[in-house]
Amino acid sequence: MSTPAASPTTPPTSTPDPASGTDRTLVISPNWIGDAVMAQPLLQLLKTQHPERAIDVVAPAWVAPVWRAMVEVDTVLTTPFRHGALQLPERLRYAGMLRDRGYADAYVLPNTWKYALLPWLARIPKRVGYRGEMRYGLLNAVHRNNRQAPRPMVSFYAALANPPSAVAPLPDALPRPRLHVGPEQRQAALEVANLTAGKRLVVFAPGAEFGPAKRWPTRHFAELAKLVWAEHSDMQIALLGSGKDKEVCSEIAAMAPQVHDLAGVTSLDVALALIAEADAVVSNDSGLLHIASAFNRPVVALYGPTDPRHAPPFSDVATSLYLALDCAPCRQRVCPLGHHNCMRQLAPQLASAPLLAMLASR
């Protein structure tokens, strides 16, 4: 996926919408695409509690398309901040814009103090979030997460809808993450990607922003493509990912030349629409996996250094593959033992069996 340009929805210097009222909710997005998807049930809960309140989301430009695919969101406000930089003058100006829009409450999903500073500077009365780093005073409804027994991601975010408690709701008790993209967007995405409308489509997501430890070997993806074509010779298989995933996707395309290598070519908006159109998705534990789950696409999810119980797919039809080796889950970006057995020993046939079953049932 190419990096999208900054959204023109509401730049920091814009004037407030005269119809915006004085009773809105603000959500400050995490910086990871998968985390944004996992936070979606929080919005469903907030909308149930206060159906009259419009929900705005402050998000980096690269995450904004995910929030725009959530029906609960009224406006996405993109941020001008550089990663790791304080940029106090810019934050003061941005907070002034937020103050003019009139928020009753704010939910700060990142754990950094810089993002907790925004609603405090904007004088939003209720400021909710986890304790995080040095946030006392900036937040006034402070939740805590037990690091020895961390909450599943959907529970982690959904708990913010209620007063702080030592017990978070279990994922089974929560609404599922959900995204929506209309048929016109899906059709346009197929045209942009040079894929054939009406022809069956499988999406592979071979990348992982977190690090190489999460990546299934490229030769396994290539072999899986060949196993699919052995049963469905006319199946379209598209590789999706950002520019950072171009190298691994190019390796797969070299071994399986019939795949459509779209890594670094499509924007996240287009990738969302292609996933929504797919007959099935095979993905590492990444943002695209959770996007597929939120569209309720059939999913084969590949886990190695991470625990599938922490951030599982929620599709009606989903298979999570995980070897549960003694060294897993290590949660490291790079295999600390150097062998990467947790992913290397996940043979392509282990993924092809559930994937072919999914395709046969559709």
Domains of the chain: 24-173 (3.40.50.2000), 183-360 (3.40.50.2000)
The rounded average pLDDT for each run of 10 residues, N- to C-terminus, in the chain (362 residues) is 42 40 87 96 98 96 97 96 82 95 96 92 96 86 91 96 95 96 97 96 91 93 98 97 94 98 95 98 96 98 92 95 94 92 97 97 84
Q: What is the pLDDT of residue 209?
A: 77
Q: What is the pLDDT of residue 83?
A: 76
Q: What is the pLDDT of residue 86?
A: 81
Q: How far apart are CA 235 and CA 358, in angstroms?
A: 13
Q: How far apart are CA 163 and CA 54, in angstroms?
A: 21
Q: For residues 229 and 235, is the Cβ–Cβ distance under 8 A?
A: yes
Q: What is the pLDDT of residue 352?
A: 98
Q: What is the pLDDT of residue 8?
A: 36
Contacts with 289 (C-beta within 8 Å, 6 or more apart), sequence order: 34, 205, 281, 283, 299, 301, 313
Looking only at the bridges linking them, the beta strands covering 236-239 and 201-205 are parallel
Q: What is the pLDDT of residue 345?
A: 97
Q: What is the pLDDT of residue 62?
A: 93
Q: What is the pLDDT of residue 2?
A: 47
Q: For residues 215 and 292, is the Cβ–Cβ distance under 8 A?
A: no
